[in-house]
Structures are given as C-alpha cells and as structure tokens.
Structure 1
Amino acid sequence: MSLFIRKYKPGVVYNTQILWRLNSTTAETQKQGEEEEEFRVLDILQKKTRIQKKAARRADIQPDRSEKMPTDQNWGNVWPGPRSFHPSSVPLPIRQGYVPKGQAPPGKKANAELMKIPNFLHLTPPVIKTQCEAIKPFCTEWPKLLNSEEAIEKHYPVEVITSDYCHASPTIRNPLARIVTMRVKLSDLKLDSRARDKFLRLVGDKYDEKTDLVTFTADRCPVRKQNLDYVNYLLTACYHESWTVEDWEKEKCLEDMEYYDFDMHPSKKNLVNWFFMSNNKENNLSDDEIKSFDTSSIPNGVEYKNAVSELFNEGENVTTLKNYDTAVRKLLGLPEKKVVD
C-alpha cells in the first residue's frame, strides 16, 4: 500500500510525490496462500522434471593402517588383550577359509571365518616376557631343594590335574573345565598290610598296580572348586576308613582271607627251613619271627615268593605255571628246562 500526495497548480502538470510506501507482506502472503489453497489444480499426469545429476567427487582414500605400521612398533600397545580379529590392525597376510582345489584361501579383508575363532595375537613372546617381568615382584623364589622330580614327589606327593579351555561360546565357563583329577602314590600313604588291603578294596579299580598310583576323578559338581573338595574328601575318607578296625575283623583267620599271603602261609616257613638246612644251620626262629623274615636274604627267594603268590591268586595258567617252574629251578640251582620243538 502506497500513499500519494498531489499538488495542483493551474496550467501545470500534476506532480506526484511518493511520501512513503507501506508494504504488508504478511497480509499479501497470507492472501496468496488462501487463494492457492482455494484454487488448487489437480495434476493427474505429473511430469517429472529433469534433475541434473551432480558428478560425485571422489575422495582420496587413505592407505590401510596395517600398511603404515612400522616394523619396530610395540605390538602390546596395538593388540593389548584378547579381542576379535580386525584386519586393519594386523600387518600380516593371514588367510583362512575353504576354497576349491587350486585356489588360494580368502584374505583377511571381510573374512568372517577369522572373526569366528579366538586368536592369541595378544600373547606374543615379547608381550609374555613383559607380563612376566611385571608379576615377578609378586612371586616367591623357587625352593632350591626342589631341584628334581624325585624331590618334588617326595615333598608334594599329591598331584591335582585340571584343564582350562579357550573357546568361542556365549559363556566363558567350559563344562570340561570343572573336571578335577587327583593322583597319589599308595606307598606315600604309609599304610600297614591290613590297612593297605582294606584301602585297595575301598578304591577298587582306581588303583594302578604298575604305577602304584591311586586316581580320583570328580566331575559331578558344576564348579571346579566343589569337585576339588570332593576328591579331597574321597582320599581322606578312604584313608581313615582303612585304619578303622571293626569287631568282625578281629575274628578273621587265615582261612577267611580273600587272597593268598605268602608271609602268613606255611610256604614261608618251609622256605626258611629249607634255607637254614641247605646252609647247615639250625632254625631257632619263632612263628612271628618267620613271618617277619626278609625273603630277599634268600637267593632267588623273592622270585619264588612272587611265583607262588601269582599261582594261588591268579590261578593255574600257562604264564603262572611257567613262572613257578622257573623260580623253583633257580631256587634249587637246577638247569633251565629245555623245550624241544
């Protein structure tokens, strides 16, 4: 909206002077908007306007991080702990994956197989050495007397075996890691003959006669600590129960024994009497002294004792009869038996 002022003079052309102009853009815009809404035209066949495509500017691609790594870098700072495989952080040409015959396996870029499995890239020899140096102030010095396997077995007779597993799973606890195995030599338990026999009957097939080891294995509890406590309980219970003497055990005589004991049978007495007679000596030993007599002092006496015990305990077979024949010939000084084909 404009305001005009006219000055009229006779015989003069009108002069028009614009003093000021008032613009109301708001009202006009609102009015135009109302007119557009009121007189909208329905365009059924819409024509697509051509849009001029802009040429994409190609950005400069930076080289991969693995290609810029120096050869003398501190790998512990690059890969400090266990993590999923990242190709840009490993400057090694690693390949993995199944491919047809005659082709190379896929590289490390966009390789899902490398990310599936756990890796030990954080446990390189320099990093392990650095970690060992860090924990060394908190460790005690190794005892000087434990300088051999025999010394270790003497001072630490009980051996506990456990296993740790590193696997790809939603949980860090592997079911096999809970299994605990305890081994101890029967000779280290300091048992007498009666307690030893009872202990062997309690443990059953857990005793290996060749290695003299008693093995307890526990895997029924969900946690390793519980299984460790359980095998300790088994060893303690069997040991103390073997020393327990029941009333009915006192009434047990030689005929009630489940196995043949050479030292308790008359065979031991006959062997000792024969040894003294063959050396022209008198046998003045009592029955208790004969039972405690050392058979190793008799030449080939231990071999004869073992052969007789095997013959009665295992029964007659080709092996036991052959061992008994050989032991008797050595004991009596007879020549070996010749077998003619």
Structure 2
Amino acid sequence: MATVTRLYRQQIFRPSYILSRHLAEDTEFRVLNLKTTRSQPVQRKKLKKPDVLPPRSYQMPVDQDWGSVWPGPRSFHPATVPLPIRQGYVDKGAPPGKYGNAELMKIPNFLHLTPPVIKRQCEALKRFCTPWPRGLETDSKCEDHFPVEVASSNYCYSSPSIRDPMARIVTVKVKLSRIPLDEHAKDKFLRLVGDRYNESTDMLTIVTDRCPLRKQNYDYAMYLLTALFHESWRVEAWEKLKSEADMEYYDWKVSASKKSIETLFGKEHTDITHADTYSQTVDALMNEGESEYSVTKYGEAVRQMLQLPQ
C-alpha cells in the first residue's frame, strides 16, 4: 500500500515541474540579433580601375580645324585646349597650370572667336547682306552724306523683366562745322550748348535720358538740336545795342582798332596790305592774353603793315 502511494506522488509532482520549466522558457525575452554572421567569409571582388586615356590635347594634330573643336562659347576645358595656359597668383611661386584651375573656368573666354572662325562666319552671312552703297567707301564720305550720328545700346541678361532702363538712353553726335552758322550764330550756339561741345574734335554731343522710351528720347534730342539751331540764328533787339565793352570776346571787325587803321590809311581794311595778319594778331593778343610770343607777333604785324624795318 505504501509503494503504491509513493508512485502516485511521483506521478503527481513530475508533471508540475515540467510544466514550470516550459513556462519559464516561454516567458523569457528573445534576443534580436541584427548582425548576421556567416560561417564562411565572403570574398570581395577586386576593383580594377579602367585605363584612363591621355588628354585630348596630346592627340591633336597641328593643322586641325579649331572651329570644329571649339565651335561655340563654353567654359574652359584643360584637356581640349593644347596651350600651356596659366592663371592665378601664388605667393613666391609660378601661376597654377590649366588642370584643376578654377580661375580659368570662371572667367569668360573667346576661344570660339578666332580670326579663321570669324572669317568663316562672315562668309556665311554675306548672302544675307546687301552690297555696300556706292560713294561711301571712306569715313569722310560717310560723314559728308550722314553728318548726324545716333547711338543707343541694347542689353540682354537673365532677369524677370527684359526691359533695361539703360536702353532708353540716346546719344546724338554732330560736328559743328557741318551746321551752317555765321560768327554771331556760332558764338551763341556754343554758349547755349556749354560743355557738350568738344573743341579739339569739333564734336557736339547731346545725351537724352529723360523719357521712359528710346523713341521719345530720340525725338527729344532732335528737338533740342533743331531748337539750338534756330535760337542761334535769332538776333534779339538788345543784342544790337552791345558795345565793345559788352562783348564776351574781342572781335576786331567791330573794334576801334579797325576804325583806326581805316582812318589812318583812308580806305577799307580789305584794301590795306597785310591787314588780315594784323587783325589775327590783335585778336590773339586780346582773347588769349599777353605773352612774349603774342606781343612779338603783334609788333611784327604792325611793322609789316606800316612797312617799317624789322
């Protein structure tokens, strides 16, 4: 009876022990292994660098067509240009070469505008052009037929608006000798234009930029030129009352010196020998001021006119 009871107890407690062990295995947290390990090592492929061709400039013939190599504007490329170009500054050293040189790449170049390429492009554009007019072979002939020169500028750039305020400016140039003026009108014309007249080149320059459009500024410049011309020829009543002391410059033809020599010789100054030389020296002496040269010339002109020994 006792033996039976012992066996029964063992059968009762054994299942509970096994049950608790399986329960502990189920409740234990599993470890997340992100790194996978392989039993056999992986053989990496050896990288084989491809053979790099030499620069193109080393293979270029001397008599090649450069217009086909560099047909249009582009950034500088050292392997394409067969020239030992250097750009930049190195303290106590030579300028850097063309390879890896940012100074050469960021500046514009004109390698596409060589003389042979320009000649080729001009030959291609000739069929779109008309023959040059006859009688305008030289610049002097062009100035004779077209004395007024009009200049304006066009601008092209990347911007939200294609309108540039500088494009409205119009410049009109004309030589003063091409405008029919007498002495009075010329003097008045020069006083009206002020510093717009260049005496060394005899060029009058009118720049208009007041109006918003180029056509308006061109019309305004033509109006100014026309108004200056007609205003210069107009003689006011008060201008006739001007005496020699009121003149802005010394004019020998209306001076007392002219009347004196006409009274002395008893005839008009046009009939007096060497009167023109005398008038020129007097004008230079009075307008340019006294100097050793002007006084000497004046004395020689007086002796020559009065036929006195030098």
- TM-score (structure 1 length as normaliser): 0.64
Q: How is 1:6-21 mapped onto 2 (pairs within 5 angstroms)? A: none
Q: Residue deviations 1:313-332, cap 9 Å, x none?
A: 34545554333223212322
2:147 to 141, 151, 157: 157
**Shift in CA distance, 310/48, structure 1 to aligned 2, threshold 3 Å:** farther
Q: How many equivalent residue pairs?
A: 280
C-alpha distance in structure 2 between counterparts of 1:224 and 1:335, whole Å: 66
Question: Deviation digits for residues 16-49 of structure 1, max 9, x if unmatched?
Answer: xxxxxxxxxxxxxxxxxxxxxx9632569x7987
Matching residue of 2:9: none
Q: Say if 2:83 is the partner of 1:76.
A: no
Cα deviation, residue 310, structure 1: 3.1
Q: Which residue number corresponds to residue 193 of structure 2? A: 203
Deviation sequence 1:65-87 (CA, Å, 0-9, x none): 33344444432233222222122
Aligned to 2:202: 212
Please name the residue that 1:32 is paired with.
Answer: none
- Tell me, in whole angstroms, the C-alpha distance in 2 between the residues paired with 1:223 and 1:67: 54
**Offset, 1:194:** 2.2
Tell me: CA distance 1:43–1:146, structure 2 relative to 1, closer, same or farther (3 Å).
closer
Greater fraction of residues in helix: 2
Map 1:1-341; keep pairs closer than 5 Å. Answer: 40-42=30-32, 52-101=43-92, 103=94, 105-159=95-149, 182-217=172-207, 231-249=221-239, 251-255=240-244, 256-272=246-262, 274=264, 283=267, 295=270, 298-316=272-290, 318-336=292-310
Could you tell me which runs of 5 or more consecutive residues in structure 2 were left unpaired when the two chains were aligned: 1-27
Aligned residue type for 1:196 = K
Query: What is the one-letter code of the residue matched to 1:187?
Result: S
What letter is aligned with 2:225? L
Matched to 2:81, the amino acid is: V
TM-score, normalised relative to structure 2: 0.69
Cα deviation, residue 247, structure 1: 4.8
Distance 1:316 1:182, change over 3 A: same
Please, what is the CA RMSD of the aligned residues? 4.3
SS of aligned partner of 2:118: helix
C-alpha spacing 1:173/1:57, structure 2 compared with 1 (3 Å): farther
Structure 1's 329 and 216: CA in aligned 2 closer, same or farther, altered over 3 A?
Answer: farther
Question: Which range moved further: 184-193 or 256-265?
Answer: 256-265
Instruction: Give 5+ residue unaligned stretches, structure 1.
Output: 1-37, 278-282, 284-289, 337-341
Partner SS for 2:241 = coil
What SS does the aligned partner of 2:99 have?
coil
Supply the AA of the counterpart residue of 2:49.
R
